[in-house]
A and B are shown apart, each in its own frame.
Chain A
Amino acid sequence: MFQVVANSLLAASAYALVGLGLALLMRVARFINFAHGVTLASCPYFALCLVRCGMPLGAAISVAVVLSMVLGCTTEVGVYKPLRRRGASSLVLLLASLGIYVVLQNVISLVFGDDTKSIRPGVVREGLNLLGARITPIQITTICVSVVLVVGLALFLRYAKLGRAMRAVANDPELANVSGIDSDRVILWAFAIGSALAGIAGILVALDLDMTPTMGLNALMMGVVVVIIGGVDSIPGIALGALLLGMAQQFGVWEISSQWQDAIAFIILLAFLLFRPQGFLGRKVRKATV
């Protein structure tokens, strides 16, 4: 029982990070960025590369997160910004991001191969015993890091100058521009922060479950589900959504077998899209009409 709860928490903390980054970009840059998935997958591979070059794991991870941020910002400057300048619709941006996802995922496959790679240090040890649940130190770290980042981002968006600028751009880019906010710069920052969150999520998943080039798509899918069920504009909603999804999947595993996790997640997603497209804590959604 506690094991299931622990596993749900663990799954939820990764989903929440992916969902938060995705939601930030959906609000500030106004499209669903599929390339977010590959930003996530790129980070553990950067770290792997650096570790192979002889860097200690901790340093490698920090550098890798920065590299992922650079990658995310490069896609923004190279592709999305020119598209926005042209006045492209959110569908065009989405399709472009889909293309970027396909290209970069295959670049990772070409460079590193399709097999599972690991950056886990040393041997797998038996987990600690907490209320009858086995949980490894890395898993505890994952949950802590995730909680800190979720709270941190919420505070940042609420109180920091840049965070407030982001909310302004999310509300009305033109009005934000009129009041002296450089919306392109704010969107670039959103990409940097979103990519960092994705990168950290990627590292945490890789530390726990190792990595494959397609890990990004799975994580992205769960991120999308979390954002839709939580509501794009609500950080508590996204955190709760992640928790709900994690629980639904883990308790689902208890009852039926684990391979149905994706199906469970997407049936929940469809139910929310059809009956409550604004998520359970969100306000109205721009694209949903009656």
Chain B
Amino acid sequence: MEYLLHILILIGIYVILSVSLNLIAGYTGLLSIAHAAFYGVGAYVVALMALNWHSPFWVNIVCAVIAAGAFGALVGIPSLRIRDDYFVIASFAFQVITFSVLNNWVSFTGGPMGLPGIPQPVILGWQVSSHAGFLFLTACFCALTLWATQRIVRSPFGRVLMAIREDEVFAQAVGKNVAGYKVLVFVVGAGMAALAGSMYAYYISFIDPTSFTVMESIFIISIVIIGGAGSLWGPVIGAAVLVTLPEMLRFVGLPSSVAANVRQILYGGLLVAFMMWRPQGFAGEYSFEKGGSQG
């Protein structure tokens, strides 16, 4: 039972991550492999605040979201000047630099040893300690993220994002502030990823840089693409499938040393297969093929 709850919590965390990345990559068309960096910033801000200042849950979460949002704006800025595969490289650079800071600034982040003993959150006098409690909390944040995303994509703001994806020059020509929207979507997406990061830090109660690597970013973008970029429920399906599928391997009796590799082979293979035969994913509407304004 505990195990089942654990899987559900993980799915919840990845739903938040992939839905928020979908906002950036799926709706706005800015393919970014820096999402694990936002996730990590969220987790580290929460962990450092909880460990050093024993500050309350809500304060930590809000600070994590603000910090990741500010960082998101920074990552979004290159998208104003460079596009497509060159932007992928720029986001990749931010991912590597973030990992490098988390891993090497030992006096501040604990370096490779990580930050152990993150205290359990106390919300309105309720100390969350059981799996069920964390699942409830994660589900709340999940619902919040999905609700916010739905509101965003159905609003005029969301329509501008999709217009940027389809034809940036056109969006600019009808008077939309493309630069502002691009940076803003990064702020929102990164802020949401920080929610996932804080949940992860509180739930596992130990974080280290290996949870926020380039490979993790690639995993999150795989969820978005396999689930379906540019659709609300696509990433949710993707997260459920890609988190559960490797767990099945356990029941087939693969030793855990092999399982990690098999898991990555699985999603890498799925990524290639989907690109070849169904680039829009299970339920997606966008397949990373630009329409009008290919330069």
| Contact surface of A with B, Cβ cutoff 8 Å | 31-32, 79, 82-83, 87-92, 94-96, 98-103, 105-107, 109-110, 217, 221, 224, 228, 257, 259-260, 262-263, 266-267, 269-270, 273-274, 277, 285-290
Residue numbers in A under 8 Å from B287 (CB-CB): 92
Q: Contacts A94-B88, A107-B265 given; 8 further ones with Cβ under 8 A?
A: A89-B289, A96-B272, A98-B268, A106-B262, A110-B258, A221-B96, A259-B104, A266-B96
**Distance in Å from the Cβ of B173 to the closest Cβ of chain A?**
14
Is B83 an interface residue, CB under 8 A from the partner? yes
A285 touches B258 (CB 8 A): no
User: With A95-B275, A102-B265, A110-B258 in contact, is A32–B85 under 8 Å at CB?
Assistant: yes
Contact with A along B268-290 (1 / 0, CB 8 A): 11111001100100000001111
User: How many A-B Cβ pairs are below 8 Å?
Assistant: 151
Residue numbers in B under 8 Å from A273 (CB-CB): 78, 81-82, 86, 89-90, 93
Partner of B261, one of A100, A106, A267: A106
A91 touches B85 (CB 8 A): yes
Partner of B97, one of A96, A217, A263, A289: A263
**Distance in Å from the Cβ of A184 to the closest Cβ of chain B?**
17
Is B129 an interface residue, CB under 8 A from the partner? no
Interface of B is mostly: helix
Residue numbers in A under 8 Å from B55 (CB-CB): none
Residue numbers in B under 8 Å from A289 (CB-CB): 81-83, 295
Residue numbers in B under 8 Å from A287 (CB-CB): 82-86, 295
User: With A260-B100, A269-B93 in contact, is A286–B295 under 8 Å at CB?
Assistant: yes
- Can you offer 30 A-B residue contacts whose CB atoms are under 8 A? A32-B85, A79-B272, A83-B276, A88-B275, A90-B85, A91-B85, A92-B287, A94-B88, A96-B272, A96-B276, A99-B270, A99-B272, A99-B275, A102-B218, A102-B265, A105-B264, A106-B264, A106-B265, A107-B265, A217-B214, A221-B96, A228-B86, A266-B93, A266-B96, A270-B90, A274-B78, A274-B81, A285-B86, A287-B83, A288-B82
- Interface size class on chain B is 35 or more
Residue numbers in A under 8 Å from B225 (CB-CB): 95
User: With A89-B289, A92-B279, A266-B96 in contact, is A98–B82 under 8 Å at CB?
Assistant: no
